[in-house]
Structure 1
Amino acid sequence: MTVHGDADPRFDRLREVFAANLESGEELGAAIAVDLAGETLVDVWGGHADVARTRAWDRDTIVNVWSTTKEVTALAMLTLVERGLVDVDEPVATYWPEFAKNGKEDVLVRHVMSHTSGVSGWDQPFVVEDMYDREESTARLAAQAPWWEPGTASGYHAMNQGHLLGEIVRRVTGRTLTQYVAEEIAGPLGTDLQIGEKEQDDDRIAEIVPPPPLPIDFSQIDLESPMARTFMGPIADAAAANTIAWRRAELGALNGHTNARALARTFSVVSRGGEVDGVRLLSKSTIDLIFREQSRNVDLVLGVPLRFGIGFALPEPETLPYIPDERICFWGGWGGSLTVMFPDRGLTISYVMNKMAPGIIGSERSAGYVSEILAAVG
């Protein structure tokens, strides 16, 4: 199976592992990129963009990256902090007054950015299609009560974090999250990145292959728990990502469409001190906010130990041993996509794919690629 693109010779082993995964069918189509202080060390892709294997995954293929989208939304929020338009220690209601209902008046912006707000999903009844109506879905979040005491623990905001933060972006800037990311992040950086997806790009989107069912036995879970309420409000449907309705919606937690090259360049902003090729989005002090630990607990929704800063996860060796326990921030998407930033090294790693791996946090494939990359860079 041919792997296309370029990689420094140090990454020959990574290329071999990638090719083997494509050859075995473990991967259908995927891409990997590595940026080190502005130098592209890896930009490779291969496989197919569709299940029928009639379309090759090429240089400009884009794919739905699921919760890796949350990193994009977090970066958008940090640019507002940088401009003095948002303070992470202010209540959400400072910017979105209607949110101060049912015990949420003291929910802070950083609580939403770190999954500790207590609002990790929608009260039922609520289905995937309801997320597409931004106005109604955000109004429902504003009206409901938190499911645990805000700020006390993380409970992964699996599908609604983008609605919560996107509404803050809209209230502060007068622009939708989709518009803001296009005009203030993707445009200035020249990256192939969008929240949602434009009709003109339909023919270059890779088809998502859903994973096996989530390894959760809901019959053994308290239906009033944050885990059950989050995963049932709404019940996730990976196949929805292949629909036009999904692609046209603004789902700032779920439907970023991009590739590894674009993600590596975008998030090298964090790894490279806030500036990329003369475009400055963040200062050192704003980047430092990411590393203000907000929670470290067995996540109330995902059920595994996690550690969150502001906008990104921080290393938690017990759950993700392939992420070194140093000054690193990261997150990934359902099925295995991820972007990892190493500010002390100037290193950014990104991986995207269309065949979703089982599980909730990471995948064996993403773990293998990250491990090979770190072995290569030393």
Structure 2
Amino acid sequence: MPSISLTAHQAVTSWFEENFRSRGELGASVSIWQHGVEVLSLSHGWCDRQCTRPWDAETLAPVFSATKAPAALCCLMALEEANLPLDCPVAEVWPEFVGGGKSTMHFAHLLSHTAGLCALDERVPIFNYEEVIAALEKQVPLWEPGTRQGYHARTFGFLMDEVVRRITGVDSLGEYFRETLGSPLGLDFWIGLPSAQWERVSPMYPGKLSIANSDQPFLKAFNTSGSLTQRTFTSPLGVNAVSEYNQSSFWSHGYASMGGVGSARGLGKFYAMLAQGGTWNGVRYVSESILRQFSHTLSQEDDSVLITPIAFAAGVMQDPLDPDPRTDGGKMRQHYGPSLTAYGHPGAGGCLAFADPENGISLAYVMNQMEVGALPGPKVLGMVESLYGM
């Protein structure tokens, strides 16, 4: 793809502005990069419904599950540092993990959400890291690893965090991220936000459930008592109301599944580095081997938790391909643009960030007025479509 055209710039800007007029946007930013340069930065709106605090490009917001991609990269970098392949048993670095019959579970199972550890039988509080890890060590997989896919909405971050701690000896995955990527690259993104940044964070506002949304299979499963979906999003227990995500204690804790806080520019720059081959200003931060793992599909199934087809590479999502042999195997949807090598991760409420290495593009969108659902909605998908002229 040649340089992003003026027409694409105008189309993205038009959609972004229309979000505020007709799609309920309150405060939001989008940051688009190509070949290591930010080519479009848009910010508008308010941090509060009383319209007393303007939203700008420096505003930070919780990005929920968009945290998973940086967390997965930390895990992959730690594994590479220890010269451990994805098909190596997790117990190689975490001996206690063998509990519950998990001695042969591989790192690939964790990274592809096929481990069967999405919901815990033991009711442990999310804020007690040691108790959650002990519960994961004892947990019997809900299915034979690798035979089924179910999004590990909360446990994923604890699994990544413990692997990084075991291999590198750091106190937390968030600390490792800051030391290896966040600080060297000057990323306006944290997994464990320092108090000096708290005043920059916008509060989040919950989405409203519409009649149309209530028909979606995911939301039905999410609201069905005892369903795998509901169990997954409440394992470990705690931090369910949006108001709890607006507390500094949540921002500072560093939950590697859903606790990242940053600006659109910070997330966009992270993916821009990946989109241009893992290098920045002539310095290599991510190896070509890891980049290949981000574009190589490990699992694609009707996800048992999200109740829709999802494709996973090593800790990042891809657009699923149509399995119908009568088709050309094209994408079933284009959340990450038209390229088959693109990857990224959404966050609850509508946040989205991705890399398109084929075209050297990255895009990140953060906002404070959430939508209902686990996957991106029209506010950001319209901008993706506008960017690529789809």
Aligned pair partner of 1:161 in 156, 161, 165: 156
Shift of 1:136: 1.7
Query: 1:325 and 1:317 mapped to 2: Cα distance?
Result: 11
- Tell me if the contact between 1:8 and 1:42 (Cα under 8 Å) persists in the aligned partners: no
Give the match for residue 120 of structure 1: 118
C-alpha separation in 2, matches of 1:219 and 1:248: 27
1:278 Cα deviation after fit = 2.2
Q: Over residues 191-248 of structure 1, what are the superposed CA-to-partner deviations in whole Å (9 max), with x where a residue is unaligned?
A: 111102121111110111112358433599583x533421343473322101222122
Q: Read off the aligned partner of 2:229 and give its amino acid letter.
A: M
**What is the SS of the residue equivalent to 1:44?**
strand
Partner amino acid for 1:272? Q
Q: Is 1:132–1:250's contact at 8 Å kept on the other side of the alignment?
A: no
**Alpha-carbon distance between aligned partners in 2 of 1:148 and 1:285, rounded to the nearest angstrom:** 30
Verify the 8 A CA contact 2:23 2:379 in the aligned structure 1. Answer: no
Question: Which has the higher mean CA deviation after the structures are superposed, 321-330 or 281-290?
Answer: 321-330
String of CA shifts for 1:278-301, please: whole Å, max 9, x gaps: 231222222111233221110011
Residue in structure 1 matched with residue 233 of structure 2 by the alignment: 231
The equivalent position to 2:179 in structure 1, one of 167, 183, 203, is 183
Give the aligned partner of residue 133 of structure 2.
Answer: 138
Partner of 1:374: 388
Q: Distance in 2 between matches of 1:86 and 1:62?
A: 35
RMSD: 2.2
Deviation at 1:36? 0.7
- Cα deviations across residues 113-166 of structure 1 (Å, max 9, x unaligned)? 11111101322434xxx2122122112111111111111121001012111110
Aligned 1:48-63 pairs, distance under 5 A: 48-63=46-61
Identity %: 30
Contact 1:295 1:309 in 2 (8 A): yes
Q: Tell me the matched-pair count.
A: 366
Structure 1 residues 336 and 286: alpha-carbon distance in aligned structure 2, compared to 1, 3 A threshold: same
1:295 is aligned to 2:299: yes
Return closer, same or farther for 1:304/1:160 CA change in 2, 3 Å cut-off: same
TM-score, normalisation: structure 2: 0.88
Rounded to whole Å, the distance in 2 between the matches of 1:299 and 1:343 is 26
**2:44 is aligned with what amino acid?**
G
Name the residue aligned to 1:73.
71
Q: Which residue number corresponds to residue 248 of structure 2?
A: 244
CA spacing shift, 1:145–1:44, aligned 2, 3 Å: same
What is the aligned counterpart of 2:333 among 311, 320, 323? 320
Structure 1 residue 86: deviation in Å? Answer: 3.9
Q: In structure 2, what residue type is equivalent to 1:50?
A: D
2: CA distance, partners of 1:222 / 1:150: 25
Distance in 1 (CA, whole Å) between partners of 2:14 and 2:293 is 38
Equivalent residue for 1:106? Answer: 104
Checking the alignment, whether the CA contact within 8 Å between 1:82 and 1:281 is kept in structure 2 is no
SS at match of 1:217: helix
Q: Does the 8 Å CA contact 2:118/2:152 hold for their aligned counterparts?
A: yes
Instruction: After TM superposition, give the deviation of residue 317 of structure 1 in Å.
Output: 5.5
Aligned residue for 2:86, secondary structure, equals coil
Alpha-carbon deviation of 1:8?
7.4
Does the 8 Å CA contact 2:348/2:374 hold for their aligned counterparts? yes
* One-letter amino acid matched to 2:349: G
Matched with 1:170 is: 165
Q: Residue 217 in 1 paired to residue 241 in 2?
A: no
The aligned counterpart of 1:28 is 26
Runs of 5+ consecutive residues of structure 2 not aligned to the other structure:
323-331
Q: CA deviation at 1:85?
A: 4.7
Deviations 1:96-119 (A, max 9, x none): 111111021111111111111110
Give the SS at the match of 2:254.
Answer: coil
Note the C-alpha offset of 1:32: 0.5
| Partner in structure 2 of residue 43 of structure 1 | 41
Match 2:371 to one of 328, 351, 357 = 357
Identify which of 16, 19, 32 aligns with 2:17. 19
Matched-pair contact (CA < 8 Å) for 1:189–1:279: no
Further displaced range: 212-221 or 314-323:
212-221
Distance 2:225 2:104 in 1: 27
8 Å Cα contact 1:191-1:266 kept in structure 2: yes
Match of 1:279 in 2: 283
TM-score, normalised relative to structure 1? 0.90
For 2:277 and 2:109, how far apart are their aligned partners in 1? 24
For residues 25 and 293 of structure 1, what CA distance do their matches in structure 2 show?
34
**Structure 1 CA distance, aligned partners of 2:59 and 2:231?**
35
| 8 Å contact kept, 2:223–2:230 | no
CA change 1:51–1:139 in 2 (3 A) is farther
Say whether 1:91 aligns with 2:89: yes
Kindly provide the amino acid, as one letter, of the partner of residue 327 in structure 1: T
Distance in 2 between the 1:152 and 1:312 partners? 19
